[in-house]
């Protein structure tokens, strides 16, 4: 039985980038066994881990899940105003400077 597209794409990315299961598990903040299960098509990552994996490889979650075939992030997703964040503190650190741009424009 063929592997799910997520597993195939993750394997390809890891091979191209030379990333080990251990290194990806650290980046995604999961156990190495979880990455092994993803690669074997046993299960999928939780949404927060999926976002961290996509961020790590600088690709979209849509590509990883097979929703589209374009690995590159759209231009709007690469701009500072629309950058994805994987943690709340990272989100706050990125939002404050962006909000300062609009200061005084809401009156």
What are 79-106's pLDDT values in tens digits?
A: 333 344 444 455 556 555 655 555 554 4
Model pLDDT, residue 76: 43
H or E stretch at 21: helix 21-28
pTM of this prediction? 0.65
Positions of CATH 1.10.260.40 in the chain: 1-72
Q: Give domain 1-72's CATH architecture.
A: Orthogonal Bundle (1.10)
Model pLDDT, residue 27: 95
In angstroms, how far is the first alpha carbon of the chain from the final one?
60
Q: Phi/psi zone of residue 44: left (φ > 0), alpha (ψ -120 to 50 degrees), beta?
A: beta
The CA distance from 95 to 82, in Å, is 10
What percentage of the chain reaches a pLDDT higher than 70?
A: 64
């Amino acid at each position: 039985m063929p592997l799910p597209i997520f597993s195939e794409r993750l394997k390809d990315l890891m091979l191209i980038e030379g990333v080990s299961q251990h290194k990806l598990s650290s980046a995604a903040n999961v156990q190495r066994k979880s990455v092994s299960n993803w690669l074997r098509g046993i299960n999928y990552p939780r949404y927060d881990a999926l976002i961290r994996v996509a961020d790590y490889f600088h690709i979209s979650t849509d590509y990883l899940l097979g929703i589209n075939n374009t690995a590159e992030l759209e231009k709007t997703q690469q701009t500072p105003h629309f950058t994805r964040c994987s943690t709340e503190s990272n989100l706050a650190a990125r939002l404050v400077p962006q909000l300062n741009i609009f200061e005084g424009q809401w009156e």
